[in-house]
Every structure is written in structure tokens, then in C-alpha cells.
Chains A and B, each alone.
Chain A
Amino acid sequence: MSLRQSTHDPRVQALVLLVPALAIYAVFALYPMINVVILSFQKWNGLDPNRQFVGVANYTAIFTRDPVFWVAFRNTVIWTVMSLIFPPVVGLLLALSLNQKIFGRNGLRAIFYLPVIIAPIAVATMWKWMYDPFFGLFSQLLTSWGMQGWIKDWLGSKDIALYSVFVAYLWQTVGFSMVLFLAGLQNVPQTLVEAARIDGAGRWAVFKHVTLPALRPTITIVLVLSIISSLKAFDIVYGLTGGGPAQSTQMLALWAFTQAMQIFDFGRGAAISVVLLLITMAVVVPYLRWTQRHEEVEA
């Protein structure tokens, strides 16, 4: 086949169009993911030309001899549960309110969404300064309200540091859920809302019987995205506490990074990554199957 003929073949054209993006994706995203699984069964310091196969030793090490792993695991679970509750609920409330015809709603939407587009590391830097126990925002406000007794070392105290970090995360992520819910609300059939109103249904009844059922797909999407992004929480923890004090804000993503890039135990770091990857898959795979079924029903 001559070159001219071959460029006439749609399959060749498809290949030319597909290869650049998919090759980069395969090399720089899929390959590292496969490599992380292989690494988790090896012992490697990142420099040695030889990687030594050690079976499941890295896994037994993190499960039985690494106390930080379980702290990080517990914190990741707490963090995920909080991310499943607070940003979606606040986001839904904001979306429902901002879906009403009220004065200045575009400006209000913009305000709630603004933190989403700021670099998480900048959010961390902002909040670290706001949490400053002496001159930070919270300490100043409490002092001016005469509530000095409530001032805490927000990020320095083991018992509250995780929640302090989460408040910053909440501030940043609520706008994202809000925008998704606002888009979902546009799909609520207005004719049904009107019909219910005419039948004398109150606001709560309309919400419960019309809006909420119509929002179900959106709710699923928001919850799945909340879980995924909460598992990825890295920048904001790294910037605010670095996992401290005394590992009280340590999380799986950060601990995997620390093991590999700072302690140079790539095997253990990879094993932690695989655990996190498996947890993510447990959420993602059912979700993908659900969306596929959903599409087939619609098609």
C-alpha cells in the first residue's frame, strides 16, 4: 500500500489522531500506576539499580509494624466521611437558595465559587496565617468578642488540627458542589413544580416529592466526586500541617509520598499507594457501571 493510499484509510487517520494523546497518557499516567503496583512488592531506595523482590513484605510491614499507617488510615476515613456530609449538604443548601430569584444572586454565586479556583497550596498558606494563635484572624476575632478562653492552637493541638484543616478544605470545596447542584436543578421539570404548587403543595412538599427525586443523579455524582477528591487531599494538608502535630493530620496520600520521597522507602510508599488506589477503585468501579447503565437506559 502506498503512503497516499494508506492516508485514505480511516483507520490510519484514526491512529494518527489518537496516538499523541493516548501515548502520553499511557506513558505518564498508566505506566506509573502499573509501576506502583510492581514497586509495592519490591524493596527499593530509589537509587539502587537493582530492585529486590520481597513478596508481600511491604504490606505486612505497613499493616503490622507501621503505627502511622493506621493513624493515616483512620484520618482518611474521618476526612472522607466529613467530605461526604458537609460540602454536599452546604452546597445543596446554597444551590437551592441561589436557584430562587433573589437580589444579587450572580454576585453571591461568584463569591461562593471563588475559593474553588484558588490554588489549594495558597488556601493552605492563607489559613495557616488565619489560624495563627497570636495575630491570626480567629484569635483576633475571639479576643475582640471577649472570648479569649476559646482561643486554641488551632493547628498545633493534636485533638483539633484535623478538623481545623477540614474547615479550610470545606471553605474551598463548597462552591464546587454548589455549582454541580445548580446545574442539576436546571433539570428539575418546572411543569411538575407548577403542578404541585397548584395542587397546594408547600415548599417542603415540592422539595421532597419533586426536586429531590429529580436531583438523584446529581446527588450521586456530587457524592462520588466528593469521595474521590477527599481521598486525594494532599496539597492542603501538606501546606497547613505537613501531617503533624505528632502525625495527627497524617493521611494516606501524604504518608505514601513521605515514605517514598522523604524516607526513601519506595516499596512501602507504593504499598500505601496501592491501598489508597484500591479504596478509590471500590468507589469508582461501581460508579462507572452505574453511569453506563444510566446511559443505556437513556439511549
Chain B
Amino acid sequence: MLTGLFAILFYVATVILVVGVAKRIAAYWRTPAPLKIPTMPAPRTQGGMLYRMGREVVLFESLFRSNKWIWIFGWVFHMALFLVLLRHGRYFQESPWFLTEIVQPFGKYGGIAMVAGLGGLWARRFLVERIRYISTPSDHLMLLLLIGIGMSGVMMTFVAHTDIVALKHFMTGLMVFDWKPLPADPVLIAHLSLVIILMVVFPISKLMHAPGIFFSPTRNQIDDSREKRHIAPWAAEMEK
């Protein structure tokens, strides 16, 4: 019963996540940026642009320049999340690949860092007047959701271990449509339920910033407007 329910929920959530995100990305991909609008000074080569984008995605360079508090909380949360996700690879692979192996020892503490970063971000939504003003209920709920995922995960790592071997069988089974029993551990069920909610809201929420940044014309364009003519297909029609 529980196994079947969560198996189906995972399938549905995965489809929503993949199809939803793909549809949004396709829309961004198809829609032209009619004008050259990189935020200057901008790189003058493709390689330079990739380096700028890399600094933005890995180091959060613009945020660092702007506000050290948001940066430290945001960056710690995202990097910890990255570690935690890598570490979770072991629940989906029969024999984990080397990166998943490498992050095991400290990936454990990633969960704590993740919750700490999220806590800092949430505190700012209450404490800083300007950020309180711009926060919507969904901004709070999103942080609550992520904190819930982080806390339940940390619980299972450090406080009340779940039957991780059975969970791994369930997950690897899901991937080949061979359902194995899911342990009926309340903390685990809470953890998985919140993850399913996260997967479903991803494509319809601000979480789209993750793929979205790669399409941001102010960051992915090159400073070459005088050397190369840039024109959108609909704009070229105006010249015929």
C-alpha cells in the first residue's frame, strides 16, 4: 500500500518535474533576445562569457559584490545542497561512482550546513525591513519546505537511522519498475513527501532560477555588437 502509493507519486512527480522544466526551458530557448543587452563590462569572447557564467553559478559573484550576508547564507545553502545531492547518489546506484564515494564523509555534514544557510535566509525575511516588504507567503513556504527536507534528512543521519538498505532497494527498484517495499518510518515518509512536493512545484515556481540563469541575456551575451550583427528572426522580417 505505502510502497505502491509512493512509487506512483515518485513517477508522477518525476514526469511533472522533467516535462515541466523541459517546457519552460524550451520556451526560453525559442524566445529570442532581440537586442544585445549584456550587463557591461562584459566578456568579448565565448570563453570569457563561459568564465563569467561559471563564476556566477559556482561563486555567486554578483551576489557577493552586493550583500555579504545574503551571499554567505545563500552560497552555503546551495553548496551544501550540492554536496547532499551528490551524496544521495548512493541510494540510486548499485555501486556508487567515485564522486559519490568521495563526498560521503563530509556530505553527512552538508545537511547541517544546508539547514543553517536556509535558517539565515529565513531570518532575513523577518529581520530586514526591505526583505520583509518583498517577501510573499510562497517565499516563506519555500524555505519551510526546504528546511523540512533538510531537518528530516539530518534526523535520519544523526538521530534516528532509517533502514537505509531497504530504502536503497526501493529506489533502485523504482528505476527498473520493480517495486521493493518502502520502510514505514515516519521521518523517512515525511522526508520523501516533502521531496515529492518540491519536485512538483519546481517548474511552476521561482526555483526555475536554476536553469533560468543560463538563459539570462545580461549574463550570457558577449560584447561584440559592433563586430557582428545580432538580429531576431521577427525583427529581420521587418526589413523585407
Is B one of A's binding partners? no
